[in-house]
Structure 1
Amino acid sequence: MTLVRLSLSFTGFGPILADLPAVHAAEECGFDGLWYAEHICAHDAVVPATVYLRETQRLELALMGINPASRHPGAAAMELASLAEIAPGRVRAAIGTGVPDMVAKLGRSVDKPIAATVALHQALKAALAGTEITEEYPGFSFAHYQLNPPAAAPALDIMAVRPRMVQTAVRYADGVCLSAGASRTYLADTVAQVERLLAEYGRPRADFRISVVVPAVVSEDLAQARAQVASVLSTFDAPTLEYLSAGAIAPNALVTALASGRPAEVAQVLTGEVVDAMALVCLPEGVGEALAAYAGTGVDEIAIAPLMPPDQVPDLVKLLAANRPAPAAMA
């Protein structure tokens, strides 16, 4: 029986070296991969990926948030090729357009997210294949660019939330990376959409990976854990979070609460029940059941993003590894 892939995801805001014990624990406990999110004004993904790849022997490293606002796709392709050289077959990238507020810090904007994402994917794929590129893309261009391609080109996923970007991922990419804060209802519905589209495009389901980043706090103090997750979720774009919360938050409830500027109203929306639907928050003895609920949505990979102090994460990794779920169809 093949288990659902289990990975450890880092937000990009914490200290790089402080997470090394968790990285080592993931390697030792049989995790499948590491995910590292690039956030403008925090950490890039390339330097941490380099450190973590050199500290491990088998874990796949997925770089999240590669986008054309922060660097030219030609430079991004060079970085991915370099990583693939030092860790053949262990590099993956989840690409997208970036968070508008963060992109704006670089003086950039994204007017047509779908077109920009397709352009980025096509440019990276061509570059990593060693194709000579002379072409104008939306927002960037190449003139006689030709990369020395890596022996094993990194897989390219597309980060998606709404149906049109999910469809774009299915049409072009090697997989889709679904956002943190997604409810199990949203995930099950999106998996169904992906599988329907794969069939329409004639693409084998086994060749396409559906991954999800899951915020997690495992604690004996559930009230505090839920409050901590709610605090993080409240920083998300409200319409996006409402969409991800399918089955958990009433339409327009969070948008209205955040617009009020009153924390009490936000707290009335992000209740403990809502948080439980959108993250992995449980007692230590509940980890197996919580992981099984995510596996039951049909996703291929669960990337756990601990919202916990770094020194607590190695023990969390061991607990997660001891409770790895089987796929929904095999459970």
Structure 2
Amino acid sequence: MKIHFILEPASADDFLAAGKLAESYGFEAVWTANHLSARDPFLSFSALARDSEAIRMGPVAVSPFELHPLKMANQLLTLNELAGGRANIVVGGGGGTTIAMHLKADRYVMHPKMVRGVRECVEFLKGASPTDPLSYDGEVFQVDNYCPKWATDEAPVVYVGATKPQMLRMAARVADGVMFSDLTLGRLDETMTTLRDGLAAADRTNEPFRINNLFSWHVKRDRHEAIAEARRKLWVRGMLEHWYISPALNERDCRFVAENMPAFIKAYVNDSPVIEGVPDELVDLLIDELTFTGDLTDVDKLIERFWTFKQAGVTEMSLRLYDDPTYSITVIGETIGRELR
């Protein structure tokens, strides 16, 4: 299993330091979250792209509804050129940025043409060639005569951000890989079955296909610090949807979480560990199901969970890092990274 890191948006110098550290441990890739008011997720990797040798890099996740596939291709291929053919991208349906652009109402609804739009974007990115002009006539996106003659490096790797069936089946047809979001062990088997069925239907069972899972990492020297960070970020773990949490909670507790969602949202927005009105015992159950959280004495137990993901067919784990990413990369490099090589 390969280990990747997803970094909080930061400066190019910060990404250079974190990326070089990850590269020194032999990790395959670093990513960054694509947030509404953050630095550009392509440009932020410019220093690392020029001053590294092996590590891959790219943004998670960019929606074609916020950035047209033509402009996405130009930015991705420019990063790929800087990195000598080591760029990645996750194409997704859109989150906070698409909401801010009034392209969808909130995080619990999908863009009406999400699956088709993402599929067309991936087809366009994959079809780009320095020698053969590409004219793409999709239902959502159309581009005439695209031919980046300068883009001669090995092609970037294009993932689809997907966890639910329609997006998984589409990704199996058109992408190089898929990145699940916060996929728990409780939903692992059914999700892998859907993906494998999609690959079989696309006659791709024997082709290389990257299967990646984004999962948050909150392991600190101090357990209380780790739990506090996990609580601050808990709302965005699958948006605490019923599908994600029901394997770990009974129906009464699932309803309680739904009824108290504003408290989880408030904690996230305020970057606070205080989740008002929600018992600590319930929060602890959610943290245990949806994250890797604890102190250094918990690492052996976390390694067992990694192995369970690997045995089910997950080929890559993208660990979502928050505070002090260099500490986290070092801990993982000295412990879990050694076990999984």
TM range (shorter): 0.7 to 0.9
Greater shift after overlay, 38-47 or 169-178? Answer: 38-47
1:155 aligns with 2:144: no
| 8 Å CA contact 2:61, 2:94 repeated in 1 | yes
Indicate the residue corresponding to 1:30 in structure 2: 26
- Match 1:283 to one of 269, 274, 295: 295
Deviation at 1:207, TM superposition (A): 0.6
Indicate the residue corresponding to 2:340 in structure 1: 325
Give SS of 1:94's match.
strand
Deviation at 1:236, TM superposition (A): 5.6
Deviation at 1:42, TM superposition (A): 1.3
Distance in 2 separating the partners of 1:259 and 1:171: 38
Indicate the residue corresponding to 1:299 in structure 2: 314
Deviation at 1:74, TM superposition (A): 1.1
Distance in 2 separating the partners of 1:321 and 1:236: 22
The one-letter amino acid paired with 2:216 is P
The one-letter amino acid paired with 1:216 is W
Q: In 2 relative to 1, CA 83–134 (structure 1 residues): closer, same or farther, beyond 3 Å? A: same
Indicate the residue corresponding to 1:191 in structure 2: 192
| 8 Å CA contact 2:168, 2:198 repeated in 1 | no
Greater shift after overlay, 144-153 or 56-65? Answer: 144-153
Distance in 1 separating the partners of 2:136 and 2:333: 48
The one-letter amino acid paired with 2:197 is R
Q: TM-score, normalised by structure 1?
A: 0.85
- Match 2:91 to one of 91, 95, 98: 95
Indicate the residue corresponding to 1:329 in structure 2: none
Give SS of 2:79's match.
helix
1:140-187 Cα shifts (integer Å, max 9, x gaps): 3213332224331112110012111111111211111011x3322223
Unpaired runs of at least 5, structure 1: 327-331
Give SS of 1:271's match.
helix
Deviation at 1:138, TM superposition (A): 4.3
- Match 1:166 to one of 141, 146, 168: 168
Q: In 2 relative to 1, CA 131–50 (structure 1 residues): closer, same or farther, beyond 3 Å? A: same
The one-letter amino acid paired with 2:260 is A
Deviation at 1:65, TM superposition (A): 1.3
Distance in 1 separating the partners of 2:2 and 2:193: 19
Distance in 2 separating the partners of 1:277 and 1:215: 11
Greater shift after overlay, 143-152 or 314-323? Answer: 314-323
Indicate the residue corresponding to 1:245 in structure 2: 245
Q: In 2 relative to 1, CA 267–221 (structure 1 residues): closer, same or farther, beyond 3 Å? A: farther
The one-letter amino acid paired with 2:81 is E
Deviation at 1:35, TM superposition (A): 1.5
| 8 Å CA contact 1:229, 1:307 repeated in 2 | no
Deviation at 1:9, TM superposition (A): 1.3
Q: In 2 relative to 1, CA 235–176 (structure 1 residues): closer, same or farther, beyond 3 Å? A: closer
Q: In 2 relative to 1, CA 256–133 (structure 1 residues): closer, same or farther, beyond 3 Å? A: same
Deviation at 1:206, TM superposition (A): 5.4
1:255 aligns with 2:252: no
Indicate the residue corresponding to 2:3 in structure 1: 6
Indicate the residue corresponding to 1:146 in structure 2: 147
Indicate the residue corresponding to 1:84 in structure 2: 80
| 8 Å CA contact 1:121, 1:156 repeated in 2 | yes
Unpaired runs of at least 5, structure 2: 105-110, 267-274
- Match 2:16 to one of 17, 20, 24: 20
- Match 1:106 to one of 96, 101, 110: 101
Deviation at 1:205, TM superposition (A): 4.9
Q: In 2 relative to 1, CA 195–205 (structure 1 residues): closer, same or farther, beyond 3 Å? A: farther
Give SS of 1:97's match.
coil
Indicate the residue corresponding to 1:51 in structure 2: 47
Structure with more contact order per residue of length (Cα contacts < 8 Å, sep ≥ 6): 1
The one-letter amino acid paired with 2:31 is W
Deviation at 1:268, TM superposition (A): 5.3
